[in-house]
Amino acid sequence: MLAPGFADGRPLARRLDAAGRRPEHPAVIDEARLRGLIRSIPDFPSPGVLFRDITPLLHDPTALRDTNDALADAARDCGATVVAGIEARGFIFGVPVAERLGAPFVPVRKPGKLPGERASVFYELEYGEGSLELHRDPSVAGRRVVIVDDLLATGGTAAAAVRLIEELGGTVAGCAFVIELTALGGRARLGATPVRALLAY
């Protein structure tokens, strides 16, 4: 078992027990075990790309619980009062984090998925342009929001989510990811936004 901490070196916050109190001992993440549950798939979805597949991690109930606990620690540390998950794998982790915090969850979605009044933001992709949307009601205005997703790569999607939340009057308290691909520089695109990642590659 490794000492408790995130890929950026900051310690994990202590978990809450069933009564909502912090236990005496901080949470410990078995980083080697987590890494062993993430498959590296070469040339997917295109030649030259090494895809980090979290499917085996999702298949392991204990590892999944520990991952969600650690992401919730990160969200709690930054004082988040709302959890935003980016479509689609951000939903997998964002909802359990919101449940652990007793906080609302808001889905940041691709175009055409939200039925109510919504705001949109456009951002550049390697080839073309992408867009994200967020409902105006329920509102994130005046709330501290943590953005949760499985992966931080180039940072374009996460940076777009930050802009979207800020345009709707929310404050982005931080971003929490399961994996960070450090060579792609995504953290730099998020500027002063605090970033936590459980694993760095």
From 33, 89, 144, 163, active-site residue? 89
Question: In terms of C-beta density within 10 A (0-12 exposed, 13-18 middle, 19 or more buried), how is residue 32 classed?
Answer: exposed
From the candidates 24, 117, 126, 129, give the one annotated as an active-site residue. 126
What CA–CA distance (Å, rounded) separates 42 from 24? 42
Structure tokens at 18: 């069933």
CB-based contact 199:35 (threshold 8 Å): yes
CA dihedral sign, ordered 20, 21, 25, 26? positive
Query: Which pair of structure tokens corresponds to residue 111?
Result: 């175009």
DSSP string covering 54-89: -HHHHT-HHHHHHHHHHHHHHHHHTT-SEEEEETTH
Q: Give catalytic status of residue 117 as yes or no.
A: no
Question: Which residue in this structure is represented by tokens 């809450």?
Answer: 16
Residue type, 43: D
Q: Among residues 154, 151, 147, which one has the least CA distance to residue 189?
A: 154
Tokens read off for 76: 């709690």
The reply to whether 89 belongs to the active site is yes
Question: Counting beta carbons within 10 angstroms of the beta carbon of residue 73, is it exposed (0 to 12), middle (13 to 18) or buried (19 or more)?
Answer: buried
Residues with a catalytic annotation lie at 89, 126
